[in-house]
Structure 1
Amino acid sequence: MNVSDAAYDTVHEYPGGSESLAPRMSKGMSAATLRGKVNANNDRNVLGLLEANELMGKSGDYRILHAMAADHGFVVQRVDAPQSGSMIGALLAAAHAKGDLSQLIADALADGQISPNEANEIGRACALVQAAIVQVGQHADAAAERGGA
C-alpha cells in the first residue's frame, strides 16, 4: 500500500470518517479539509508530516507509518515496554522466536527455492525476533531503573 492510499484509508475507515476525526485534530479542521488533504487527486491541501503523525495518534491507525517504512525498505513493529515478566523470560522468548525463524527458513529451503509467500513469512518472523530482542533490552533498562535484576 502506498502512503497516499494509507492516509486516505486511515481517514475514510475511521468510525464516522472525516466528520468524526477532523474535529479531534489539534487545529480543528473541517471534515472537508481533512478529506481534501488525504485525496491523492487534490494538490491544494496536502497532509503535512506533523498532521500525519497526529492523525495516526488520534485514530490509532498506523498504516501510514507502515507504508512509509515499506517505501524505504523497512518494517515497523510495535514493541511495548514490558509490564511483567523477567529478563530471563524475555531472553527465552527471543530464543524461541529465533528458533521459529530458523525452522521457517529450513522449511522454505526444503524445495530449493523461496516463494514470495515464504519470503513474506520469513520477513514477519524476522520482525518478531527483532521485537523479542528489544524486549530483552527493555527488561534490562527496567532492571537498571529499579536497581536490581
Structure 2
Amino acid sequence: MSLQDAFYGTVHDYPGGCESLAPRMKTTPAVLRNKANPNSTTNIPSLQDADRAMALTGDFRILHALCENHGHVAIRTDAQGDSGDLAVLELVTHVWAANGNVGAAVDATLADGRVEVRELKAVRAAIYRTQQAMLSMLARLEEMAEPAAEGR
C-alpha cells in the first residue's frame, strides 16, 4: 500500500472523517482533506501529520505501509493482554489464515503462467501479514516464557 493511500484511509475511515479528525489534528477539514488527497500537489502530509493521525485514530496503516515499503514488519511490543493457551491458539489460527492468504496470492499470480510486477503487490502484502502474525505469536510466547532454572 502506498503511504498516500494509507494516510487517505486513516483520515477518511476515522468516524466522521476529515470533519471530525481535523480539529483534533489542529487543522481545518479542507487542509486535512487536501493532505489526504492523493492528487494534491500543494498540501502534502508531513511526518508529524502521519504520527498525529496514527496517535489519534489508533489506525496504523501508515506505519505498516512504511515498514512494508522498506522490508520491515511492525508488531506491537507493549503488553497485548491475555497470554493464556487460548490467546496463543488464536494467534496460531491467525498465522494459518495468513499462510493461506499467501498461498492464494501466489496461486492467483501463477494462474495464467506468468508473473507480472503488478501481481506481486498482493503477494507482498500477504507475506507481510504472515510475518506480522508470526512475530505477534512469538511475542506472546515470549511473554509466557518462564525463566530457565539454574543448573539446567
Shorter-chain TM-score tier: 0.5 to 0.7
Gaps of 5+ in 1: none
TM-score, structure 1 as length reference: 0.56
State yes or no: 1:85 paired with 2:85: yes
Map 1:48-127 onto structure 2 (within 5 A). 48-70=46-68, 72-74=69-71, 76=73, 81=80, 83=82, 84-85=84-85, 89=89, 100=100, 113-114=114-115, 119=120, 122-127=123-128
3-state secondary structure, aligned to 2:142? helix
Q: Secondary structure at the match of 2:85?
A: coil
Map of 1:47 onto structure 2: 45
State the identity %.
32
CA contact (8 A) 2:94 2:133 kept: yes
Rounded Cα–Cα distance in structure 2 between residues aligned with 1:75 and 1:118: 20
Equivalence for 2:140: 139
| Offset of residue 120 of structure 1 | 5.3
Q: Which entry has the higher C-alpha Rg, 1 or 2?
A: 1
Amino acid aligned to 2:53: L
> C-alpha displacement at 1:20, in angstroms?
0.8
Alpha-carbon separation, structure 2, partners of 1:99 and 1:12: 30
Q: Any gaps of 5 or more consecutive residues in structure 2?
A: none
For 1:100 and 1:9, how far apart are their aligned partners in 2? 25
TM-score (norm 2): 0.55
The Cα of 1:6 is off from its aligned counterpart by 3.5
